Amino acid sequence: MSNKKAQILKATETILATSGFHGLSMQKVANEAKVATGTIYRYFKDRDDLLNQLHEQILTYVAHRLEENVDESQPLKEQFTRMWKNLWYLPRQEDAPLLTRNQFESLPISHHDQLRQKKDVLFSTVHRFFNEGKQQGVFKPLPNPVLWAIGLEPSIGLTTKHLSDGLDVNDAILEDIINACWDAIILS
C-alpha cells in the first residue's frame, strides 16, 4: 500500500473515531491526511469506496491478530484460549484500530456479498477451528457464526468494559471467563 493511501485511511479512521460518520467529509479527510482533496480520488472512487477499504483493512488487521500463534497441532482448547486472548489483548496493541466496535460495526458498507466472501477467507482459521471441533464431536453442532458469537465474541465486549468501564479482570478471573466461553461451545 502506498504511503499516501495509508495516510488517507488512517486519517479517515481518526475522524470516524473522534467525530463519527456524520463528521466525515472528503475535505476533512484531506486536511487530516495533509493531502489535497484530489489526491484522495487517486486511491478511492468516492466516500463509499474509502469506507469499504477502511472496513476491509480493519478486518484484515483483526483476522491476522486473531490467528497469531495459533497452532493447528495444539489441542482445540489451547487454540481457543490463544484466539480468545488475542482478541482480549487486541485493543492494547500500539497499531490497533482506533474505532470502537460500535463505530466499526456501524460503518456503511456497499458490497455485502464481497465482504462476506472476504471475511470467509480472512477468518478461515476460525472456520477451520470450529469445523474441526464439530467433526471431532467436541463442539455443539451450531453454525460457525453462532459458535463465534458465544465463544470468542465475548472477549471483545469484555475487553471494552475492562478498558473503558473499569471492569476489574485479573488473571484468575480471565481464565474463568475463557473457561465459561469454552463451556458455551462444547458438548457436555
Q: What is the DSSP letter of 91?
A: G
User: Three-class SS of residue 37?
Assistant: helix
DSSP for residue 96: -
pLDDT digits (tens, 9 = 90+) for 107-135: 666 666 777 788 889 999 999 999 999 99
User: Three cell numbers at 172?
Assistant: 484468575
Q: What angle do CA 125, 123, 15 make, to 5 degrees?
A: 145
| pLDDT, tens digit, 9 for 90 and up, residues 65-76 | 999 999 999 999
What architecture is domain 70-185? Orthogonal Bundle (1.10)
Task: Give the domain ranges of the chain.
Answer: 70-185
Q: Which of 20-29, 37-46, 74-83, 179-188 has the lowest mean pLDDT?
A: 20-29
Instruction: Kindly calculate the radius of gyration of the chain based on its CA atoms and give it in whole angstroms.
Output: 19
Q: Is pLDDT at 19 greater than 90 in this prediction?
A: no
Which pTM was predicted? 0.84
How many angstroms separate the CA atoms of 103 and 98, rounded?
10
- Tell me the average pLDDT of the chain: 90
Q: Residue 111's pLDDT is what?
A: 66
Which range has the worst mean pLDDT, 87-96, 151-160, 179-188? 87-96
pLDDT over 80 at 2, yes or no: no
